[in-house]
A = this chain, B = another copy of it.
């Protein structure tokens, strides 16, 4: 989906990963959200799309049109409640990202992003994973945080040198000191 398109379809993500982004006049991409399975994309109430939706990996979607939606809600009132719940979760996630992006230093932003990934990489909802693969490239991480890829790279090596994380290849992350990461995030 591209910004400016007639907005005819919405979808829930079945497998894979998507990003929602906007692109400014100079071609700078801003990632506004990363969608995981069971997440929802599309603007149900806008005539044209505001943002771009791009697959990060091969993905499977369950598409439906807005007219589908309206008839389905009429037949199954519980559907609206379920979608409301999803939408509330997306909203909370967007605000979490806002919070992250507002951190003062680059180190705090990168540390916060790692903590967030550790949480979402865990199967349990209350614990964080202590090792995981970064779902985003350096370029995408930079775009999420509003930094450059060089700065992201430097912060990662900095975090490794200070012993808070260890890296396995370009994408593998092992958290060695989770509380320390959180301290950096909030400071």
Contact = CB atoms under 8 A, between A and B. Distances in A.
Interface stretch (A55-63, A101-109, A168-176): A101-109
Interface in A38-88: 43-46, 50-51, 73, 77, 80-81, 83-85, 87-88
Nearest to A101: B101
Contacts of A102: 30, 101, 143, 146
Q: How many copies does the complex hold?
A: 2
A32 to B, nearest CB: 4
Interface residues of A, number: 43
Interface in A1-51: 20, 22, 24-26, 28, 30, 32-33, 43-46, 50-51
A92 B20 contact: no
A175 to B, nearest CB: 19
11 contacts: A30-B98, A30-B99, A32-B98, A51-B95, A77-B80, A80-B81, A84-B87, A94-B98, A97-B98, A98-B98, A101-B101
A83 B186 CA distance: 33
Given A77-B80, A84-B80, A101 B186 contact: no
B83 A32 contact: no
A90 interface: yes
A94 to B, nearest CB: 4
A95 B94 contact: yes
